[in-house]
Each structure stands twice: as structure tokens, then as C-alpha cells.
Structure 1
């Protein structure tokens, strides 16, 4: 590739979508869905704590406001996901999350045997832990919405008592809290993963180390003129 006068950079370098040492991981649509869902989930948990924990409820007060915010943040929780379905990149990653491959089972076996080297934990764009988390949290949110609607609209299902709905809702809320804390802990342990969700790009060396199968897929797509140009959708 030719260089312009007075410059050591190739003429096409400024127009390339990513640097040689960076690789596109998440599109703008995916990052917006993740961010909006995270804020709505946080709002649900904070308002639930203000309703459930006595000392906090007394400190905050405004119970009717907390109930209203909690109900509507819960009802709107799936909205970012549904809007994200308009993005082909988002839908492609959903298919990745729903596909459990042989190397995912190898990843889980390596975790159980406490192997820490990335070579012993092969992964595609998402590792087996991320796939299990995504599936679990999606199911938990659906159950929370269902039980919340039963509590909100009494008589929706007469054969299900309000007490039963409250019990399931409360137990699952605690489970979600602990799982989310584990998710945040893992995220804070990996600054590069957070960078990928914040900017959309990760270092090529990180991708090669922790998601080598995905990086090979990206290289194959680039060489074949595949979806590499659609990742910013």
C-alpha cells in the first residue's frame, strides 16, 4: 500500500474500522441493550430493597413512589431486548448464546477441575459460563415478571394465591441479586471485557487468549468478505 508524502502511515489506515491490535466485539445496538437492561435491573433491585428492607424503607419513605417505579421498571425490563432484535448483529449473538458446543463442555470441565490457563478453557465469542448466565437470567426475569403481574393484578389467575406469588418473587429476587453480584465481580476482574462492552473493541491479544475460536471465525469472515463490515450495525 502506498504512503503519502511526509507520512509513514499507509494511505488507507485512517479509514480502517479498527486498528491492527483491536478487534470489534460488540455493536452499538448490543452495547445500548446491555446498558439499558442493566440500569432497569438496578432500578428494580434498588426499589425492591426500599420496599423489602425495613430500615431502608423507613429511611427512604415514599412507599407509593417506590412501588410505582418498581412495577414499571420491571414491566419495561424486556423492552431493550425486544428493540435489540431489530439488529442483525444482536440476533446473531443470541444464536451464539443459545448454541452449546463441545468446546463449551470442555470449558466447564476445566472450571470444575480448577484449571486456570486459557488453553484449557476454549471458548467462542461467549464462554460456557456466559451462556449459562444469559439463559438463567432470561428465565429468571420472565418468572419475576409473571409473579409480579400476579401480585399487581389480583385475580389474574385465581388458582394461584398471592402468598405463593410473593414467596416465589422474593426468593428469586435474592437469587438474582447474588447472581448479579457474581456477574459484576467477574466483570471488574477483567478490565478488557469491560472495555469491550464500553467501546465495542477489545485487544486482539485478549481475544486470542480467551476467545480464540471466535477470533478465528472473525478472521475467516474477514477473508471471505462476510459479516465483518456489518459489526457496527
Structure 2
């Protein structure tokens, strides 16, 4: 697969995501979408009757779940992705201030300071990463049920189903937030964002200039 070149950084637009990051995000979104849709088809009777072919749906659900971590792991060779993962893993005083402003419903940009990623995005990334690992582990226990004690298998099923519902709700919220911010979507689609948007939504972020070519 050919990788699109990183977008140029200009006076009006700032480079936010590399080609590898955008590819990893899209591939993960597709796999997650397959997981959610197949899970719904397996657990909602009306949808299961409409879709049919339960064995095929089960197979798609299993393999898309197993492949879910692959895009991010494959993109770890990208320096930009590794740098962003480091930023997502750091929580500072400005993040606590951002969260307090959200709880107070204070929408003033000055009251919500953020670096490249705000506190909400950091919490979302951490939660989804943890949930994905738990879903993968419990899913494997359900897949190879004949090798797992009955008590463990019952617990894995309960955790897997409950966490799947919570994950679906969180993802719906994530998509809703993205739909309400066209510039954020443009940044993930093209790799660059408007300087004005960055200054308003991520006032502490100072993108590095493009290296000399």
C-alpha cells in the first residue's frame, strides 16, 4: 500500500498527523466498525434474523477482533506516531484544568488549555486501549472455550458483553464529537489543520517546523 506524503506546513495550515498515523486510524476504525456491527448482529435478535449466516458473522467478528491491534503495531515504525503516543500518555496540570472547565461547562477557549491532545482525548485513548486488550483476552477465552474452565468462561462472557456495550456507547460519543468538529475531521483526513483552529482548541501546542529537504 502506497503511503501519502505528509502534508506541508504553511502559514495558514499546520501539519498534525503523518500518513502512517492516518492509515493506522482508518484501518483501526474499519476493524472496530466490523467488530461492533457483527457483535450487534450476534446479540440483537431482530438484527440477527435480518442478517442471517451466523457462522460467517461469528468468523468475521473473531478475526476482526484479533486483527484490531495490528494497524497501530504496524505503524510503530513511524516516529510521529511514537511521539504522539508519548503525548497521549502524559497528563499535566493543564489537563486537570481542562477537565475542571468541562465539568463546569465552561466553554471559553482560555479556560480549556490543551497541548496537541486535550485531556478528553487522552482519557479516550487510554480507555479504548485498555478495553481493546480486555476484549481481546476475554474473546480468546470464549473462542477456545473447550480449553477454559467453565467458571472462567462464564466470567469472560459477562465481561466481554458488558464491556462491548460500554465500548459501543463511548465510540458513539467519539463519533458524535468528531461530527461536530469539521476541522478535527479534516485534520485526520488530510493531516493538516487550520492555524486558527489549533490556536483556539490546542493553545499550548507548538508544532515543529518542517525539516529541511
**TM-score normalised per structure 1:** 0.85
Residue 176 of structure 1 aligns with which residue? 167
Q: Deviations over 1:43-67 (max 9, x none)?
A: 0010111111111111111000000
The residue matched to 1:136 in structure 2 has which SS? Answer: helix
Structure 2's unaligned 5+ residue stretches are 1-6
Corresponding residue to 1:86 among 70, 77, 82: 77
Corresponding residue to 2:185 among 186, 191, 194: 194
Corresponding residue to 1:127 among 97, 118, 122: 118
Measured on the aligned residues, the alpha-carbon RMSD in Å equals 1.5
Aligned residues: 206
**Distance in 1 between residues matched to 2:104 and 2:91, nearest whole Å:** 20
1:152 aligns with 2:143: yes
**Distance in 2 between residues matched to 1:61 and 1:46, nearest whole Å:** 13
**Distance in 2 between residues matched to 1:36 and 1:27, nearest whole Å:** 14
**Distance in 2 between residues matched to 1:116 and 1:26, nearest whole Å:** 26
**Distance in 1 between residues matched to 2:101 and 2:151, nearest whole Å:** 43
User: Bigger radius of gyration, 1 or 2?
Assistant: 1
Residue 25 of structure 1 aligns with which residue? 16
Structure 1's unaligned 5+ residue stretches are 1-15, 223-227
Q: Deviations over 1:6-30 (max 9, x none)?
A: xxxxxxxxxx933311000000000
**TM-score normalised per structure 2:** 0.93
